[in-house]
Copies of this chain bind each other. A is one copy, B any other.
């Protein structure tokens, strides 16, 4: 019962932007978007909330920086490949998996348009679409379609994860609840939604995501084959 340990553990290393971001990622991963708070964060770093402001501008800056760290790692981890199409698929899947592992990245990405994390993705997509042979005036539409699709899926996955967490369910239980609600819609007004309710229940998110990417890639290829009518 020696009392030599201090009641509040003091930090050994001095605070830094990197250590703050790292702690934020841990917090976001373990407790979701609502888990990142200047108070919990400063507690975990054994300091006061005000100290954080010496290293980061504000909460939005912090969230974007945490998101960027994940995106940068994800981009680095994607094995390079000679074929642009395979590259694009790997890129998209890499982002899908990253958001699956860190759902908060999906919404952080959406909240920081034009910022670094989005630029990293944009750049990689753009280079590969170029390599695919798209003409200058169609590149932008192709990259935009891929980027927005990825962001759309990411945002939705983030929201699914967030809602499931709030209600104390896991992802599949949550999707089960959605499917149940859909199958009780009025069949005259919502025939399509009702008919796909079953698919929501037991589909493979990842494969479905990839099917969408392939569909967009088909559209891009077709645009390249028959370039423009005049």
* A residues adjacent to B (C-beta < 8 A): 107, 110-114, 119, 122-123, 126-127, 130, 139-145, 147-153, 155-156, 158-160, 163, 178, 181-182, 185, 189-193, 195-196, 199-200, 203, 208, 211-212, 215-220, 222-223
Please tell me if the beta carbons of B151 and A192 are within 8 angstroms of each other in the complex.
no
- Residues of chain B contacted by A215 (CB below 8 angstroms): 141-142, 145, 216, 219-220, 223
- Could you tell me the distance in whole angstroms from the C-beta of A169 to the nearest C-beta in chain B? 13
- Could you tell me the distance in whole angstroms from the C-beta of A164 to the nearest C-beta in chain B? 10
- Could you tell me the distance in whole angstroms from the C-beta of A76 to the nearest C-beta in chain B? 13
Q: Give 17 new A-B contacts, CB below 8 A, not counting A130-B192, A141-B211.
A: A110-B158, A110-B159, A113-B156, A119-B190, A123-B192, A126-B193, A141-B212, A143-B196, A144-B211, A148-B148, A148-B153, A151-B155, A152-B155, A215-B223, A216-B219, A219-B220, A222-B222
Interface secondary structure of A, over-half rule: helix
- Could you tell me the distance in whole angstroms from the C-beta of A115 to the nearest C-beta in chain B? 9
- With A and B bound together, what is the CA distance between A160 and B185 in angstroms? 35
- Residues of chain B contacted by A220 (CB below 8 angstroms): 215, 219
Q: When A144-B208, A149-B145, A152-B155 are in contact, do A192 and B110 touch as well, CB less than 8 Å?
A: no
Please tell me if the beta carbons of B114 and A182 are within 8 angstroms of each other in the complex.
yes
- Could you tell me the distance in whole angstroms from the C-beta of A88 to the nearest C-beta in chain B? 13
Q: When A110-B110, A110-B155, A119-B193 are in contact, do A212 and B148 touch as well, CB less than 8 Å?
A: yes
- Could you tell me the distance in whole angstroms from the C-beta of A116 to the nearest C-beta in chain B? 10
Our pick among B107, B127, B151, B211 for the contact of A191 (Cβ within 8 Å) is B127
Please tell me if the beta carbons of A112 and B193 are within 8 angstroms of each other in the complex.
no
- Residues of chain B contacted by A119 (CB below 8 angstroms): 182, 185, 190, 193
- Residues of chain B contacted by A151 (CB below 8 angstroms): 152, 155-156
